[in-house]
């Protein structure tokens, strides 16, 4: 399978806490991308990390990539109720394959 697999499947936290979700993959990648999907909407691109990068930041998001372990993590700091969504990692060489996602619920 070329797709990434997100873990955990579901995560529920209080507003203000940090949320960490993980992605594992099996094949070689050029880059790994994280997306957010609100209910009934399309996916929104959050961050792209290239295979030669180890860590990347964007606002409250921090992504790490360990190509030796074929894994990545997405950290959302100081979570807000508006962060409630499903999060997917996209992996692949020339196109993106997605897992089933992590459903994050942030409780106000």
Q: Which residues bind other proteins (CB under 8 A)?
A: 3, 30-31, 33, 35, 40-45, 48, 88, 90, 94-101
Cβ neighbours of residue 23 closer than 8 Å, sequence gap 6 or more: 4, 5, 6, 7, 32, 34, 71, 72, 73, 74, 89, 91, 99
Which of 93, 107 has the CB closer to other proteins? 93
Which of 40, 108 has the CB closer to other proteins? 40
As measured in angstroms, the least distance from the Cβ of 81 to other proteins is: 22
Which of 15, 56 has the CB closer to other proteins? 56
As measured in angstroms, the least distance from the Cβ of 16 to other proteins is: 28
Q: Within 13 Å of residue 99, how many CA atoms lie on the same side as its CB? A: 23
Sheet holding 19-24, edge to edge: 5-7, 19-24, 71-76, 61-66, 55-58
As measured in angstroms, the least distance from the Cβ of 83 to other proteins is: 18
């Amino acid at each position: 399978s070329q797709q990434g697999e997100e873990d955990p499947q579901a995560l529920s936290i209080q507003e203000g806490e940090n949320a960490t979700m993980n992605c594992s993959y099996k094949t070689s990648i050029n880059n790994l991308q994280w997306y957010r999907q609100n209910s009934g909407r399309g996916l929104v691109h959050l961050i792209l990390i290239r295979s030669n990068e180890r860590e990347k930041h964007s606002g409250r998001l921090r992504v790490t990539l360990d190509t030796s372990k074929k894994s990545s993590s997405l950290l959302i700091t100081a979570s807000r109720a508006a962060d409630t969504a499903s999060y997917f990692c996209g992996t692949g060489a020339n196109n993106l394959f997605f897992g089933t996602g992590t459903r994050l619920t942030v409780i106000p």
